[in-house]
Chain A
Amino acid sequence: MLDYTTAEYFSRTGIVINPAKTCQPIGAMYAALGIHRCLPHSHGSQGCCSYHRMHLARHFRDPVMASTSSFTEGAAVFGGGSNLKTAIKNIFSIYDPDMIAVHTTCLSETIGDDIPTYIAQSQIPEGKYVIHANTPSYQGSHVTGFSAMVKAMVKYLSVNSDTPNGKLNIIPGFVNTGDMREIKRMLNLMGINYIMFPDTSGVLDAPLTGKYEMYPSGGTKIEDIIDAGNSLATVALGSFASAGGAEELRKKAKVRPMVLNTPIGVRGTDKFLLAVSRATGQEIPAELEEERGQLIDVMADLHSHYHGKKVAIFGDPDVVIGLTAFLLELGMIPRYVLTGTPGEVFEREVKQMLQAAGVDGVTKSAGDLFSLHQWIKAEPVDLLMGTTYGKYIARAEDIPLVRVGFPILDRGVHSYMPILGYKGALRLIEMISNALLDRQDRDAQDEDLELMM
Chain B
Amino acid sequence: MLKEKVNGILDKYPASVYKNRKQHILVVDHESDNPQTITANTRTIPGIITSRGCCYAGCKGVVIGPLKDVVTITHGPIGCGYYSWGTRRNKARVDEGGDYNYLNYCFSTDLQEKDIVFGGEKKLKQAIDEVVQLLHPPTIMICSTCPVGLIGDDINAVAAWAEKEYQIRVMAFSCEGYKGVTQSAGHHIANNGLMKYVIGTGDEPAGQYSLNILGEYNIGGDGWEVERILKKIGYEITAVMTGNGSVKTLQNAHKANLNLVQCHRSINYIAEMINTKYGTDWLKVNYIGVQATVDSLRSVARYFDDPGLIARTEEVIAEELAEVMPTIEKYRKLCEGKTAAMYVGGSRALSYQDLFSDLGMETILAGFEFAHRDDYEGRDVIPFIKEDADSKNIENLVIEPDDQHYRLVLPREKYEQLKNEIPLNYFGGMIKEMRNDSVVIDDINHHEIDEFIRVLKPDIFCAGIKEKYQIHKAGIFSKQLHSYDYSGPYAGFKGAAIFARDIAMGLATPVWSLVKPPWKTEPALEGHYVEEVV
Contact = CB atoms under 8 A, between A and B. Distances in A.
23 contacts: A14-B124, A15-B73, A16-B78, A16-B108, A18-B105, A53-B466, A54-B87, A54-B464, A57-B468, A70-B46, A70-B50, A73-B180, A73-B393, A87-B46, A90-B48, A94-B13, A106-B111, A106-B116, A110-B116, A110-B150, A137-B77, A138-B147, A211-B474
A136 to B, nearest CB: 7
Given A44-B146, A58-B465, A209-B515, A86 B45 contact: yes
A136 B47 CA distance: 20
A50 B53 contact: yes
Interface stretch (A22-30, A291-299, A355-363, A419-427): A22-30
A86 B47 contact: yes
A17 interface: yes
Nearest to A13: B126
Contacts of A210: 473-475, 515-516
Contacts of B76: 106, 137
A49 to B, nearest CB: 8
A14 B128 contact: yes
A71 B180 CA distance: 9
A55 B86 CA distance: 12
Contact of A17 (B14, B106, B149): B106
Interface in B42-70: 43-57
Contact of B130 (A15, A44, A69, A95): A15
Contacts of B180: 72-73
Interface stretch (A60-68, A146-154, A179-187, A188-196): A60-68
Contacts of B44: 46, 68, 70
B116 A50 contact: no
B150 to A, nearest CB: 5
Contacts of B46: 68-70, 83-84, 86-87, 90
A206 B472 CA distance: 12
A271 interface: no
B466 to A, nearest CB: 5
Question: Which 4 pairs from chain A and chain B are nearest by CB?
Answer: A47-B54, A14-B126, A87-B47, A23-B79
B47 A138 contact: no
Nearest to B517: A209
A387 B291 CA distance: 42
B135 interface: yes
B77 A23 contact: yes
A65 B446 contact: yes
Contact of A212 (B113, B133, B147, B450): B450
Given A57-B469, A72-B178, A74-B389, A138 B17 contact: no
A91 interface: yes
A106 B105 contact: no
Contacts of B48: 67, 70, 90, 94
A90 B180 CA distance: 22
B143 interface: no
Nearest to B94: A3
A134 to B, nearest CB: 12
Given A88-B47, A90-B46, A54 B516 contact: no
A368 to B, nearest CB: 8
Most buried by B among A4, A47, A389: A47
Given A14-B127, A50-B466, A90 B146 contact: no
